[in-house]
Chain A
């Protein structure tokens, strides 16, 4: 092989890898519908890809590589289906009828059909019969094009564990005979919720870990954004789908501003807002407006969270933040998705909007909540409110309690610094 051949092989391999990233989900989605099996679909799609690579190395990359792969994959699927049906039914006549219906399935595939297939596959990958870890792994593998080793690195689990989760998930889908259908209207919202949950979980895994030393984790935010954009294109009329995307885009817009030069976290109100990514802010706010326009029966939890994120995004400086509106939005969130952490956030917003005494009145009852017993931010928020009321001795005790609860060394240092500061002021 000459040097130039080796070069062109490399060029084809790299282009093919990019084409696989672009086409694999569509290909697997179409094949999964035809074959009623994610496992088999994935296998045949990979076979088609190997075939493509060999052919393209000889004759170059075709004008429509996606179409090429789809044709190759469907031929393989047709062979498998013929083979299975032949094994199942001996009568030649029945076989001919069977082939007729197979042929109908193999008519030219339009973009709409591919879109529906992608959506079916997303619903199957995020099916409630699967564990949350399995849904995440399967979704990232099928739609993010991530390998099991990349997923393992991203979630800090061994590759073998991820492979096992995916294998088990596929087996459960086959055993329970999960249909490749779009959910019925009555079921749509519950099933969509499961998909949104998986996407947001992927995002948070990346977002909350970006201070870590593993370079793969910020990439998870990008994977989640991509999944969110795909879903928004597939289900353009659902408010919560656009809301989740808007929420993620607004949060991601702050990525550059939330980590300091020494890798320390910078809280929202202390961030240099000129570092926010204006393209993502603009897209997020536009998505939020769209989500608001699509609301049918009250705002959903992602819309309310996106609206809160939007309030922060619109404030050019921290002191311009519309706290009364944020406090009202947290109150609304307590209605649709109540949790003690949401209530704590409401306390913070109310404290900013209406003064520390109002915030404190919301915070104090939360100390009876068993879910927050180990939560360092509860005494930390209380400390802040007490300090603003001039009750520094109590504030010092509260922030020391927060320092005892946290397991993060950097955070403990910050809490203890605050405690010392309150102590100094109190001693004056």
Chain B
């Protein structure tokens, strides 16, 4: 079973970190990734750049609309993801709970989503 661990956070919260806190967070993610690899469950994952470089694209009445980030109405953004291959939902939950974003204060969280297999 494949799951995606989505790392969500309040973009402003991340900007209030001191350099030391930043470094500690980086180290925590490195350790998390090493643990996932050592357990043989990591299939992939990446951090994502900030929403100031993001763009939202939609279509209205046949006309393409682009909206450049950052998006004023939403405070929470997806900051990265991990793709895991595990035997059960419980195992996925346990791994998600160990993600640094799930262990920090209120400005970050983890959302766990099972990847839908498309029968082709």
Contact B85 A225 (CB under 8 A): yes
Q: Across the interface, name the chain A residue whose C-beta is closest to B39.
A: A22
B98 to chain A, nearest CB (A): 9
Residue of A22, A114, A115, A272 touching B91 (CB-CB under 8 A): A22
Answer whether residue B107 sits at the interface, using C-beta atoms and an 8 A cutoff: no
Pairwise interchain contact A18-B34, C-beta atoms closer than 8 A: no
Is there an interface contact between A18 and B40, defined as CB atoms closer than 8 Å?
no
Q: Identify A15's interface contact among B35, B42, B94, B120, CB under 8 A.
A: B94
The total of interchain contacts (Cβ-Cβ below 8 angstroms) comes to 58
Known interface pairs A15-B94, A225-B85. Does A283 touch B44 (Cβ–Cβ under 8 Å)? yes
B64 at the interface (CB under 8 A from A): no
0 or 1 for each of A221-260: is its CB under 8 Å from B? (1 = yes)? 0100111111001100000000000000000000010000
B59 at the interface (CB under 8 A from A): no
Q: Give which listed residue, B31, B42, B83, contacts A111 with CB less than 8 A.
A: B31
Interface size on B, residues (CB 8 A): 22
Most-contacted residue by chain A among B31, B39, B103, B120 (CB, 10 A): B39
Contact present for A229 and B40 (CB under 8 Å):
yes
Contact of B85 among A22, A111, A222 (CB under 8 A): A222
Q: Knowing A15-B94, A222-B87 are in contact, say whether A230-B39 is a contact too (CB < 8 A).
A: yes
B56 to chain A minimum Cβ distance, whole angstroms, is 26
In the bound complex, CA of A275 to CA of B44 (Å)? 20
CB distance from B105 to the nearest CB of A (A): 14
Cα A233 to Cα B42 in complex, Å, equals: 11
Q: Which chain B residue lies CB-closest to A256?
A: B120
How far, in angstroms, from A229 to B44 measured CA to CA in the complex? 12
Give every chain A residue within 8 A of B42 (Cβ-Cβ). 229
Q: A118-B38, A225-B40, A226-B40 are in contact. Are A22 and B94 (CB under 8 A)?
A: yes
User: Measured between alpha carbons, how far is A227 from B38 in the docked complex, in Å?
Assistant: 10
A63 at the interface (CB under 8 A from B): yes
Q: How far is the CA of A22 from the CA of B40 in the complex (A)?
A: 10
Q: Determine if B40 and A233 form an interchain contact, defined as CB atoms under 8 angstroms apart.
A: yes
B94 and A228 contacting across the interface, CB-CB below 8 Å: no
Asked if B24 is an interface residue, CB under 8 A from chain A, the answer is: no
Contacts of A233 in B (CB 8 A): 34, 37-38, 40
Report the nearest A residue to B87, measured CB to CB. Answer: A21
Complex contact B43–A275 (CB within 8 A): no
Q: Tell me the bound Cα distance from A229 to B36 in angstroms.
A: 10
Q: Could you tell me if A111 and B34 are in contact, using CB atoms closer than 8 angstroms? A: yes
Using known A-B contacts A111-B31, A225-B85, determine if residue A230 contacts B40 with beta carbons closer than 8 Å.
Answer: yes
Residue of A nearest to B31 (CB): A111
Given A226-B85, A279-B83: A17 in contact with B40 (beta carbons within 8 A):
no
Q: Which of A19, A226, A256, A283 contacts B94 (CB 8 A)?
A: A19
Given contacts A230-B40, A233-B34, 13 further A-B contacts (CB under 8 A): A15-B94, A18-B90, A111-B31, A111-B38, A222-B85, A222-B87, A226-B39, A227-B40, A229-B41, A233-B37, A233-B40, A256-B120, A274-B120
A sample of 21 cross-chain residue pairs with beta-carbon separation below 8 angstroms, ordered by A number, consists of A18-B90, A18-B94, A22-B94, A111-B31, A111-B34, A111-B35, A118-B38, A222-B87, A226-B39, A226-B40, A226-B85, A228-B40, A229-B37, A229-B40, A230-B38, A230-B39, A233-B34, A233-B38, A256-B120, A274-B120, A283-B43
Which residues of A approach B to under 8 Å, CB–CB? Answer: 14-15, 17-19, 21-22, 63, 111, 114-115, 118, 219, 222, 225-230, 233-234, 256, 272, 274-275, 279, 283
